[in-house]
Every structure is written in C-alpha cells, then in structure tokens.
Amino acid sequence: MQQRSVVAFALTALLGSVGLGCGVEQLPPARPPARTLPAEVVVPADPPPPGKGRVILDTDGEPASVAEITSGSPPASGDLSVGVKPLCTTPCVVDLSYGSHPIMLRSTSDASRQSETELDVGARAKVFRHTLGERTDGGGTRVVGASLLTLGILAVAAGAVVWGAGAASSHGSPSLVSGGEALAGAGAGGVVISIPFLLAGRPTERPGATTQWSLPGVSPPSRVGEQPVAPARGSSSASADRL
C-alpha cells in the first residue's frame, strides 16, 4: 500500500509539473511604434514597376532582417535560405506585388526578438513600422528543472521495481524493500523540486505590434530624412501581430 502511495504521489506531481511548466506563457502584445518616418532611408526616384507597390519598412529601436515567407512556415532553425525570400534589413524600401505578403522580421542582434505578420501592398506607397515580438525558452533554469524531473521519474520507476521485487520474494527481503523505498522517495522528491524550476523557466511569447499608414499620392522624396512626408489623413492603423 505504501509503495502505491509513493508512486501515485510521484505521478500526481509529474502531471502537475507537466501541466504548469511545459506550456508557453502568452504575454501582452508589444507597444505599437510611433507614427514617425525613419530618418535615414533612401527611396528610389523612379516609381515602382507596374503591378507593384512601394513600402518603407522600419523596426522600432533596432535593425531587423525582413524576409517574405514563401512556404507554409519559416524553418524553426532560423535558416532564412529555406522557405523564405530575404527582402532587406530595416530601415529599407521594397517594391512588392499588390496583395498580402506574409513576412518574418528578426532582430540582427538578438535572435529571441522576431515576429511574423502580414504586409498588405497596394498602389499607394506606405510606411510599415513594427515593434518586434519576443520569445524566451527559459534558459538554464528550465534545463535544471527538466533534468530534475527526468531523474526523478527514473528514480521512482527503479525504486518501485526494487521495492516490489523485495516485497514479492518468498521469504521477503527487507534490504530490497528499504532500498526501493528510499530510491522511490528520493525520485518523488526530485519530481516535486523540479516544479518551481519549470515554472520559473517557463517559455514566454510576446507578439509584436505594427503601425502603418499610406503616404500621399505623390512621389516620395529621394531621402526621407531630408524632406519628411506627411501621412495621408485617415490612413493609419496599429495592430498586434503573431510571433
């Protein structure tokens, strides 16, 4: 009976640690960037080719590489040569075909800061400013928790086998029973101790946010920083995006 109680306790703690520590914590979206033009970005004097619209891309506070997602999803490894088409590094100007383009933006200095969002392109030039999202993996704290959890599970399983073998022997084996009890108890303790580490190292995900607006229907200046262009009335929007 005592053996079953220890194993049941360990299983309960295991399920609790998995339920509490393995999910991704969703944080509130980042703050949308201000509606300001990037100071240093060169806009081509020639208009975009027929069927394409011009977009000024910028990321708030840090440069980012921008790529168009050409397959179902970008590779988890971060290899931009597979499934995506590199566009530029912000701040920059791109000419894209009319319609919606799924894009990925990634900080050039911090791999944890990245976003996926949609870029809608039309005949009128527009400014697309984005605050990058962020994802953390828990780092060393999560590694410690996962290690304690794994070792605890193995110890409980081994202890239960030894404990059962000692109790089932024809004459009984106190040494095996006591050894199994100690091993299973230590494993259960390891599972319990892993829980705060898994919670403290829980991965987090914060969506990015976008501010975009259309420019007046006139040719933009060759260098935006030299002649700021006023945005068209009633044409701005801000939104939160996915990672």
Question: Taking the domains of the chain in order of start, what are their residue ranges?
Answer: 2-23+139-200, 31-136+206-240
Question: Which of 41, 82, 77 is CA-nearest to residue 58?
Answer: 41
The reported pLDDT for the residue numbered 17 is 52
226 pLDDT higher than 50: no
Residue 54: which residues within 8 A CB-CB, separation 6 or more? 43, 47, 48, 93, 94, 95, 125, 126, 220
* pLDDT at 68 exceeding the cut of 90: yes
Q: Which of 100-109, 142-151, 226-235 has the highest mean pLDDT?
A: 100-109
Residue 216's SS3 state is coil
Q: Give 214's contacts (C-beta < 8 A, 6+ positions apart).
A: 122, 124, 125, 126, 231, 232, 235
Evaluate if residue 41 carries a pLDDT over 80.
yes
Q: Say what the pLDDT of residue 181 is.
A: 77
Regarding predicted confidence, which is higher, 144 or 232? 144
Kindly state the average pLDDT of the residues 113-120: 92
* Segment (H or E) for 7: helix 2-21
- Angstrom distance (rounded) from CA 209 to CA 129: 9
Q: Which tokens go with 139?
A: 């780092």
Residue 75 has pLDDT above 90, yes or no: no
What is the reported pLDDT for 70?
Answer: 86
Number of residues that this document lists for the chain: 243
Beta bridge partners of 212: 128, 237
Comparison of pLDDT for 21 and 160, the residue scoring more: 160
What DSSP state is assigned to residue 78? -
